[in-house]
Amino acid sequence: LRRKYGFYLFVDEAHSVGALGKRGRGICDHFNVDPREVDILMGTFTKSFGAAGGYIAGSKALIDYLRLHSHSAVYAEAMSVPVLAQVSSSMRMIMGEDREHALEGQQRLDQLALNSRYFARRLAEMGFMTMGDPGSPVIPLLLFSPAKIPAFSRECLKRNIAVVVVSYPATPIITGRVRFCISASHTREDLDHALEQISDIGDLLMLKFHKDKVQPQHLKAE
């Protein structure tokens, strides 16, 4: 479509870079698309890289313009050296260029995909309504009622489970949700414990809308 109609393509990779794709290089890697086909790629270093800040990638002309005119480039503080070192070391590990941990990056990518598919499939089997693509490490679960959003968060907090709830105006008022952020470091025991607690909360707040009607895309995940 971009080539046919000549529009600019901007892709936000906040939840995909360092997580999706066979090599962990994000949405382009996941769909086998040449990154040069995307005019602007944006991402964050706060998730997969465990650091701070973010990036914008594009043509030299675009980057030069942003450096001169972007408020964050002109007035904000630069990233500190320790943060840059964290980003660089994480990137080398993901790309398999860290000699001391040559295989660890790929192992973490594979484990993250396995954990994400398992968690999403189990939520669907319990009857929750989830969103997102199989394999995504960020799994939204629909809560719908605005009153249930803080209630779900508080119940998770009581059980020492960290979650992120999202509501209006970030989402339409009837599609408030909770986001589960899965890590390669989560063990199967961690995931099963969280799922057990989430199931109890789902029963308490009546959030299981389609029990025994598992979403097809999550059934494919092993």
Instruction: Report residue 221's pLDDT band, with 50, 70 and 90 as the boundaries.
Output: very low
- Please calculate the CA angle 94-97-102 and round it to the nearest 5 degrees: 80
- DSSP, collapsed to helix, strand or coil, labels residue 15 as coil
pLDDT at residue 220 greater than cutoff 50: no
Question: 17 is written with which tokens?
Answer: 């870079």
What pLDDT score does 211 carry? 62
Which helix (H) or strand (E) is 140 found in, with range?
Answer: strand 138-144
> What are the φ and ψ backbone dihedral angles of 29, each rounded to 5 degrees?
-65, -40
pLDDT at residue 152 greater than cutoff 70: yes
Q: What single letter denotes the amino acid at residue 79? A: M
Helices (H) and strands (E) in the chain, counts: 9, 6
Q: What is the pLDDT of residues 18-51, one digit of tens each?
A: 888 888 888 898 889 999 999 999 999 988 888 8
Q: What is the pLDDT of residues 59-97, one digit of tens each?
A: 999 999 998 998 887 888 888 999 999 999 988 888 888
Query: What does the CA dihedral 78, 58, 181, 222 come to, rounded to 10 degrees?
Result: -150
- Left (φ > 0), alpha (ψ -120 to 50) or beta: where does 135 sit? left
Q: What single letter denotes the amino acid at residue 139? A: I
**Quick check: pTM over 0.85?**
no
DSSP string covering 155-178? HHHHTT---EEE-TTSS-TT-EEE
CA dist., res. 51 & res. 76, Å (int): 17
The secondary structure of residue 76, as a DSSP letter, is S
What pLDDT score does 213 carry? 52
Q: What is the pLDDT of residues 112-135, one digit of tens each?
A: 999 999 999 999 999 999 988 878
Residue 4 vs residue 221, higher pLDDT: 4
What pLDDT score does 15 carry? 85
* CA distances (Å), origin 45, targets 15, 91, 138, 187, 211: 10, 10, 15, 24, 37
